[in-house]
Amino acid sequence: MNVPVTRTHFGAIVFITSFLFASTLSVQAQIVPDLTLPNNSVVTPNGGTLTITGGTQAGTNLFHSFEQFSVLTGQTAYFNHALNVQNIVTRVTGGQISSIDGLIQGNGSANLFLINPSGISFGSNAQLNLGGSLLASTANSIKFADGSEFSATNPQSPPLLTINVPIGLQFGSNPGSIINQSKAVAPGNLQPLPPQIPVSNNVGLAVNPGQTLALIGGDVLLNGGNLTANTGQILLGSVKSSGFVGFISTPFGLSLNYDNIQNFGNIQLSDGALINTTGLGGGKVDIRGGNVSLNGSRIYALTLGNIDGRGIDINAQTFRAEGGTQISTLTRGNGAAGAVNIRATDSVELNGIGVDPYRLFVGKYLLSGSANPFDPQVVLITGTTSMGNAGNIVIDTEKLLIDNGAVLASTTFSTGNAGNMTIRARNFDLVGSAVNSGTFAGSTGTGGDITFAGERLTVSDGAALISISRDRGASGDINIKASESVEVLRTPDGSPVATLIGSTAGGINGQAGDINIDTKRLRISEGAGISLSSGSVIGNQPLNTTGGPGGNLTLRATESVTIEGISGVLANGSRGPSFISADANAANRGGNMNISTPVLTLRNGGVITTASLGRGDAGSITINAGRVEVIGNGGQGEFNSQIQTSVGIASRVINPNATANGGSLNLNVGQLILRNGGTLNLQALGTGQAGNINVVADAIALDNQSSIDGRTASGLGANINLQASEILLRRGSRISTDAGNSNGGNITINTNTLVAVPKEDSDITANAKAGSGGRIRITAQGIFGTQFRDKLTPESDITATSDLGPEFNGTVQIDIRGIDPNRGLAELPETLTDSSNEIAETCSAQSRNNSFVVTGRGGLPPAPSEALNSTPGWIDWRVSTPRDSASSLKLRVPTLGTQETRETGSTEDFSREQSAIQNPKSKIQNPLVEATGWVKNADGTVGLVANPSAEVSSNSYYSQKCQVNRYSSQ
């Protein structure tokens, strides 16, 4: 089991190893053979050059064995050997670390294997001049394919020197450390990199292009030291337990297998250390350790030519990058950039250089549409500035934290496509930082997708998880699958933009990607949001009105969605609500939203909106939910909670000359509850047509100045279609399709019961100022507390008027399918008539053409010889005294055929609770049909019938000899 190492431990390691290195250099460096080989090594000093000859050769392998191996500053250790030697296998057996601050040189193209279990330290002047690769290790021995072993800890055992190639390293229980501080200047055989790449000529330890540089030891520390293998590969491994590390030969060079290693140590890059495999084809960087830490350091594997890059792989228990660290596989050629793969069993932390530099970086990017890929805010990037495609980024860990202004990006600056980003983590916290996949100004390539899979995702404090197109290419999709929760929280004071998950088409014609979220709970608060937009706006000003089509949102939350609260004071001095938005700020259409959840709650400024600022039509909103509750601010504060689609108003910018059409609001819900000014709203400025509001629900309740509102300025009016079992309006609430310079819209309501309190001024209106009134059609079994009027009053009204005059008024059609108390009582004459003049004497037993009509209360006895015994049920039509909440109104509604009652209007129990996403249907009862007769059943019970057959029994109320029609007005 690995034990995490703190930064204090790292500091101790650095101090101790630096002390050992300094102590070793303080004495005369020596290269001393140990006389353990059949043909021993020979060291010949010649000024500052120590020429090494001899050794034992077996095939193409040359074996050297030394008691000490150290090189002072300015000295050269020169391996002089036959040109047919392919591998120089060297061990140090004396128990002292090898301190190298000079040059190690070899003949031809031989590879050098150097093992010293006690440790190896490369000083600031250390450098290489080898034709082949270098593998430096603190392993105990090197193993070969025939089973033989060249050991540094048991040199007295006669080695079976072999012609076979090495197959791996055998480590002991406590391997020594490897330190690199080299900043040596590049030798003449290394070509300088393009000036756009911010690297100096201090290449440190460098091998020839295409070769391998491997440091495999206990702890591996690069304290300001550099490693260079242009188009080659650099391998770092930290092993802290006994075991075998295998060599795997690949077409690209050596690869290492750590399957037999149980514990890994620490790998640290600090003080400007650089690992660089940049070249015509970006080389390979492979790092394997327990705790891997980069502080103010860089890993570059850039592609400059037609060869595809090979990428960067980091495997660790914990990985941390901070202090201006940068990891990059950018391509500047036609070859594809390599991928970046980071896998850490415990955690990954990417830490930036501060929130203020991050905000400046974001501001410059928003204004210019581009950025410097080597900006110090960019911690991890794979991108393309040419025809080659960018690589992919994969992060796989238990816990991922991106914090303090760090930027993680996969982008295209040119014709190549950006790569995809995949994050797999149980918990992912993005704090005051950015994850960006997209296209930059001047590019034609497409952006890559961002995919997150885990339990919890939190985006907070000015952070952005975004996919942006800033030119012709489409941006990628954002796919989030979080089994527990997604939270988008807190836009702090001074932030240039809201905390958000966003997709933007901000370029010429590039299409924005879609956002797909699948989770249990989604929470958006304190001015944060989810945004899909076409075109871009900063503050109150349109920044780009040429964006392509907006992306679509698909949101599925199996438990709840909550949107609430407002932001801090932004950099432009304004505040903003919490939101889910899809804005068309350009000529192309905006995206659509589809939201499914059992419970959707908007409060304290929470907003769901689609909007169009000009010519591009706004998208539609579709919500499938068990319960939707929109709680406004009661008239207090700048922002009100609402679900809205609008034209001419987007991102706080107003365009009264807009020509686009609005989207529709489609709600299929169990309960729709609007309280304290909460609104379901369509709004259209200019000549565009507002969309439609379509609601299918079990129950709809509006309370305290809440509204379902479809307003237009001069375009065609909106349409509101409501289908619900019960609709309640309280305390100044309204359902409206009012218009300005256009005709009023249409309202269609289909319900069992429509209820308003008469004195609370809750209205249903389709009025117009400079056009004709709209059309209102209400079909209900009962309407209580409101009625049609030809003008608005302090009562609760139903109106379709026009300010132009009565001849421009609209129409109101009310179809009552059941009992309507507003129709009043039937008037009866005060003077009784002479009954002798009213009784038909010809109503004989043989006649079939006579009728007996009874008008008034009380009905008719079953037979002339029986008394009138009426047993009517008591029905309470009274309305209770209004109180301060919608739950105070209780309506007693008769149920046909029974004397049961139902209570409606409660914001908590307005209808039965929905426990899962469903498609509720309005439960409209069949129309009432007047009874015209009765029959006596075989068991003696009496039943009312509407259309008795011509052939009825003698028990029927209808005599076969004298037909009687009975009308009883109540």
- The model's pLDDT over 289-308, given as tens digits with 9 standing for 90+, comes to 999 999 999 999 999 999 99
Distances (CA, A) of 724 to 34, 781, 796, 813, 853: 95, 12, 20, 18, 38
Q: Percent of the chain having pLDDT more than 90?
A: 57
Number of Cβ atoms within 10 Å of the Cβ of 367: 11
- How many domains does one find in the chain? 1
Residue 609, in any domain of the structure: no
Residue 271, domain CATH: 2.160.20.10
Q: Cα angle vertex 922, ends 918, 928, to 5°? A: 155
Confidence check: pLDDT of 837 > 70 = no
pLDDT of residue 346: 98
> Please, are residues 495 and 571 in contact by the beta-carbon 8 Å criterion?
yes
Name which of 225, 65, 239, 233 is nearest 168 in CA terms: 239
Residue type, 258: Y
Residue 26, in any domain of the structure: no
Q: Which of 339-348, 511-520, 651-660 shows the highest mean pLDDT? A: 339-348
Backbone angles phi, psi at 356, to 5 degrees: -65, -50
Of 43-57, 71-85, 847-861, 902-916, the least confident = 902-916
Residue 725, in any domain of the structure: no
The beta strand positions in 385-433, using DSSP E, are 393-403, 407-412, 421-431
Confidence check: pLDDT of 517 > 90 = yes
pLDDT of residue 937: 73
Q: Which residue has the higher pLDDT, 83 or 906?
A: 83
Of 3-7, 491-495, 935-939, the least confident = 3-7
Q: Which residue has the higher pLDDT, 638 or 847?
A: 638
Confidence check: pLDDT of 876 > 80 = no
Domain that holds residue 47: 31-152+162-185+199-301
Cα(450)–Cα(393) distance, integer angstroms: 9
What confidence tens digit (pLDDT) does each residue in 700-750 have? 999 999 999 987 766 666 899 999 999 999 999 999 998 877 788 899 999
Taking residues 552-565, report their average pLDDT: 97
End-to-end CA distance of the chain: 87
Confidence check: pLDDT of 817 > 90 = no
pLDDT band at 839 (very low <50, low <70, confident <90, very high): low
pLDDT of residue 545: 55
Of 200-209, 432-441, 837-846, the least confident = 837-846
Cα(301)–Cα(309) distance, integer angstroms: 7
pLDDT of residue 934: 65
Q: What is the pTM of this model?
A: 0.81
Confidence check: pLDDT of 830 > 80 = no
Residue 210, in any domain of the structure: yes
Pairing type for strands 536-538 and 529-534 reads unpaired
Name which of 57, 228, 223 is nearest 130 in CA terms: 228
> Helix, strand, or coil here: 22?
helix
pLDDT of residue 56: 94
Cα(68)–Cα(120) distance, integer angstroms: 11
Q: Which of 66-80, 185-199, 406-420, 461-475 shows the highest mean pLDDT? A: 66-80
Confidence check: pLDDT of 944 > 80 = no
Confidence check: pLDDT of 204 > 70 = yes
pLDDT of residue 890: 37
Q: Percent of the chain having pLDDT more than 70?
A: 76
Cα(628)–Cα(961) distance, integer angstroms: 61
Confidence check: pLDDT of 55 > 80 = yes
Residue 9, in any domain of the structure: no
Cα(293)–Cα(813) distance, integer angstroms: 74
Residue 262, in any domain of the structure: yes
Cα(414)–Cα(542) distance, integer angstroms: 25
pLDDT of residue 829: 62
Helix ranges (DSSP H) in 206-260: none
Length of the chain: 970
Cα(228)–Cα(276) distance, integer angstroms: 5
Cα(690)–Cα(646) distance, integer angstroms: 7
